[in-house]
Amino acid sequence: MYLSKHDVDLLAGKKVGIVDDVVSTGASLAGLEALVKKAGGIIHKKAFVLAEADAADRKDVIFLATIPIFA
């Protein structure tokens, strides 16, 4: 993941919403959160279309539906 200086300047001190298609393990989300924070942004919301497995139990994200896991 990469942000240019221009992007960092735009994020600094601003509220940021992270929007993605699916949250599963949360690894990509953690990377995005770190990037936003390092750029000086303030994470306001984390939203996803779908949540998979244990991600559906997270209280820090919002999502529209869950993806069932079949064993």
pLDDT for 50 equals 97
- 15 contact partners, CB below 8 Å, separation of at least 6: 41, 42, 43, 44
What tokens does 20 get?
A: 């993605």
pLDDT for 68 equals 84
Answer with the residue of higher pLDDT: 69 or 42: 42
Sign of dihedral through CA atoms 19, 56, 35, 17?
positive
pLDDT higher than 80, residue 71: no
What tokens does 21 get?
A: 């298609």
pLDDT higher than 80, residue 60: yes
Read off the amino acid at residue 51.
A
Query: pLDDT tens-digit profile of 14-59?
Result: 999 999 999 999 999 999 999 999 999 999 999 999 999 899 999 9
pLDDT for 19 equals 96
Strand segments (E) across 1-71: 15-23, 42-52, 62-67
